[in-house]
Amino acid sequence: MKVSRCKGTRDLLPQDMAKFRCIEAEFRDCCLGWGYQEIRTPVLEYLHLFTSAGTLSPDMLGRVYSFLDWDGWSGERVALRPDGTIPTARLYVENFQNLPIARFFYVENMFAFEDTGKESRERWQCGAELIGGSKAEGDVELISLALEAIGKMGLGPVELRLAHAGLIKTMLEGLGLSGENEADVLDQVFSGNLSALSDLKSGNTELVKNLQFLFGLKGTSPGFVKNLRGVLRSALPARDASLNELARISNLLTSLGFDYQIDFTSGRGFEYYTGVIFSFYCSGRRLGGGGRYDELIPLVGGKDICASGFALYIDELMGLMGEVSQRERILIRAKDDKGLKPSLGLARQLREVGYIAEFDLGYKKTADFRWIINVRSKEEIELLDQSSGKKRRKSSFADLLKLLEEARCR
């Protein structure tokens, strides 16, 4: 009986893993360069870590893989990590509470149930979290880091879109909708249906108009934030700092020469965040995003400290990435037992200088290899260049390596 893989999972084949490792390597290099330290949290966490954080919506929590462990008679459920940020906050509280600033990054898999089974229920993410430090500068640091990492992956032009969760929340409060109603309206707005707002039977028509204004326009400069302030002044409480924060980030990004779009419909999943939200797009696909979540660390039992972070979706990045060039592969054949020992020595030397050296254990298909080396003895080595069909005989390893290097340089 053929046993297939679980519904909603995927295998990463060699060509997928080549892309995966390439993405991971670029991301790690960038993060390490910016002073971020790598962490890895366990796949299993207590479910109450995610319920107590209060940041995941009931719908998201309803899709968490959770179960009773072998010692779970107390009813305490464990969950397969559905999110990278909340476990990072837990890790910080458990180990680094005294650090005024902590910079972490991770490459981890997340799990969430998906009804159709057509999309993967296991998703890989690379994420970075900045705990502590000043707010706007921290957000801009994370945006710069993400753009640098995506840039190095060579995927094409990346669009940056900004929104502000605090501003959306403040405006929506005025409508006085129930939780489910609010989520429904927002779902429609985020899907591009602005008429959902005009269909609202809210007595506050001024507020509905302001919301349509907020979600209907897309700005690209600090001037747009000033305009927003002018229009929304009457709709916001005097102490509301959302627009000031957005203005500061907008100014910083402009001065650093980044292009961006302030688009409040890009704020999907805003429930998680308290401040600015940023998303990265390429060829119409959302590659990842993040934002400020200042309430999270206290919610998981830590001190009152601000925090912000982002995650990039590796599956999306892999989908946009072209074929990854592999190191050159060389096939080594020992002609007989006499050639076995020298061929082993030759293979070791080739690996040391960066080639992939494979022994011929009965390959039928040799087209994958540019070079084939036949070894009779230490002094009798034959090199076949499959790209030109030329055969060369060499009498020492040193001569052979020199020839390969010359070909590589050409």
Partner 1 sequence: MQVKLALPKGQLQDETAELLKEVGFTIRGYSEGSRSYRPQCSGAFGIFLKVFHEKDIAIQVAIGNYDLGICRLDWVEELLSKYHSEAVIKVRDLGYGRRNIYAVAARSSGCSSLEALKDHDGSLRIVSEYPNLAEVFALKQRLRRFQIFPVWGSAGVYPPENAELAIVAESSSKKLRDQGLVPLSTLLESSACLIANRDSLERKNLSRLLASLSTGEAPKYYVKDSSLANASLESRYTATDRPLISVALPDGHQQHPTVVFLDRAGLRVEGYNVGKATSRPRIELDGVAVKVVRPQDMPLHVANGNFDLAITGRDWLRDHLYRFPSSPVDEVLNLGFGRVKIVAVVSRDLNASNTDDLRKMRRDSAFRVASEYVNIADRYAHDNHLAPYKLIPTWGASEAFLPEDADVLIENTETGSTIAKHNLKVIDTLFESSACLIGNAKAIKWPEKKDRIAYLVETMRRGVEASCAC
Question: Which residues make up the interface to partner 1 (CB under 8 A)?
Answer: 1, 48, 51-52, 54, 58, 61-62, 68, 70-76, 115
* 3-class state of residue 229 by DSSP: helix
CB of 80 to partner 1, least distance (A): 16
- Ranges of H-type helices in 73-132: 85-95
Cα 13 from Cα 134, distance rounded (Å): 42
**Are the C-beta atoms of residues 112 and 60 closer than 8 Å to each other?**
yes
CB of 75 to partner 1, least distance (A): 3
- Ranges of H-type helices in 153-241: 165-173, 179-190, 195-198, 205-216, 222-232
Closer residue to partner 1, CB minimum distance, 133 or 301: 301
Closer residue to partner 1, CB minimum distance, 26 or 271: 271
Closer residue to partner 1, CB minimum distance, 75 or 100: 75
CB of 184 to partner 1, least distance (A): 15
Phi, then psi, of 230 in degrees rounded to 5: -60, -45
Closer residue to partner 1, CB minimum distance, 52 or 109: 52
Torsion of CA 379, 385, 390, 394, to 10 degrees: -10
Closer residue to partner 1, CB minimum distance, 74 or 388: 74
Closer residue to partner 1, CB minimum distance, 116 or 387: 116
DSSP 410: -
Amino acid identity for residue 300 in this structure: V
CB of 293 to partner 1, least distance (A): 17
CB of 186 to partner 1, least distance (A): 17
CB of 185 to partner 1, least distance (A): 18
CB of 46 to partner 1, least distance (A): 9
Closer residue to partner 1, CB minimum distance, 71 or 406: 71
Q: Burial level of 21, CB count in 10 A (0-12/13-18/19+)?
A: exposed
Cα 125 from Cα 141, distance rounded (Å): 19
Structure tokens at 37: 């330290």
